[in-house]
């Protein structure tokens, strides 16, 4: 298996879906509902590329063909992503996983020093350990410690260390792994179905591509 970079071609449309791995139980007596969240939530991205011709058409055809269905994988971004946080982009900080064996919705990280408000903003992407995550709350850097305000059930908030993420971390972390936050932030995906394209006179083609994140990458 080889992981290939996706061609540098902008999609005409880009749909991103978080496919959650939850299970709901409903009582047949009271109709009370309980929901359990489990590991394995993943990203699904659907893209269309309209009216490709010439070199772009040939490049996309070749790329999809060499994937050989689901044999190989793709480094892919959310093409609609926009960074909002204050983390430096031109000369990025080295942000590292702080602690092995982490799973769940909060990541402990370190590396940068100083104090920066809104280092990450809700909606920013980060990636590590071949997993793509979205930051779910605004995160400050306070004297080198990442912190965010965690909502409580009584509508108050509590300052909590770490970076809140969605989906939750699937695979236990490795201490010291580099966290990527500079656009484009990519995950590892595979085709969700066989790829195809249509062609009109003039050798102009439309492509529809659907991929899902590889949870075992």
Mean pLDDT, the chain, as a whole number?
92
- Indicate the SS3 state at residue 199: strand
Cα separation, 17 vs 140, whole angstroms: 27
Task: Give the CA-trace dihedral at 116, 122, 123, 125, to 10 degrees.
Answer: 50
Inform me whether the pLDDT recorded for 27 exceeds 80.
no
Q: Return the closest-CA partner of residue 185 out of 132, 119, 146.
A: 132
Cα separation, 190 vs 16, whole angstroms: 14
Residue 130 has a pLDDT of 94
3-state DSSP helix/strand/coil % of the chain, to nearest 5: 5, 50, 45
Give the pLDDT band (50/70/90) at residue 37.
low
Residue 39 has a pLDDT of 72
Cα separation, 129 vs 102, whole angstroms: 11
How many CB atoms are located within 10 Å of the residue 1 CB? 10
Give the pLDDT band (50/70/90) at residue 21.
confident
For the entire predicted model, the pTM comes to: 0.88
> Could you tell me the domains of the chain?
3-79+187-213 (3.30.200), 95-183 (no CATH)
> For the chain, how big is the Rg over CA atoms in Å?
20
Inform me whether the pLDDT recorded for 42 exceeds 70.
yes
pLDDT higher for 20 or 192? 192
Cα separation, 28 vs 78, whole angstroms: 41
Once rounded to an integer, what is the mean pLDDT over residues 192-207?
Answer: 90
Inform me whether the pLDDT recorded for 119 exceeds 90.
yes
Element containing residue 196 per DSSP (H, E):
strand 196-200
Inform me whether the pLDDT recorded for 186 exceeds 90.
yes
Beta strands 3-5 and 73-77 are parallel
């Amino acid at each position: 298996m080889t992981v290939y970079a996706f061609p540098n071609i902008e999609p005409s449309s880009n749909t991103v879906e978080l496919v959650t791995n939850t299970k709901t139980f409903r009582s047949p007596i009271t109709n009370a509902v309980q929901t359990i969240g489990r590991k394995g939530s993943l990203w699904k991205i659907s893209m269309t590329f309209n009216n490709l011709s010439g070199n772009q058409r040939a490049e996309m055809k070749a790329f999809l063909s060499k994937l050989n269905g689901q044999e190989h994988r793709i480094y892919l971004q959310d093409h609609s992503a926009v960074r909002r946080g204050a983390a430096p982009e031109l000369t990025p900080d080295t942000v590292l996983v702080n602690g092995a064996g982490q799973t769940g919705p909060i990541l402990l990280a370190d590396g940068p020093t100083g104090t920066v408000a809104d280092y990450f903003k809700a909606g920013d992407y980060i990636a590590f350990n071949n997993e793509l995550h979205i930051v779910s709350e605004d995160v400050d850097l306070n004297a080198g410690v990442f912190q965010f305000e965690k909502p409580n059930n009584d509508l108050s908030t509590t300052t909590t260390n770490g970076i809140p993420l969605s989906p939750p971390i699937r695979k236990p972390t490795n201490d010291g792994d580099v966290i990527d936050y500079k656009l484009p932030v990519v995950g590892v995906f595979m085709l969700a179905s066989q790829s195809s394209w249509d062609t009109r006179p003039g050798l102009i083609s439309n492509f529809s591509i659907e991929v899902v994140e590889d949870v075992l990458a």
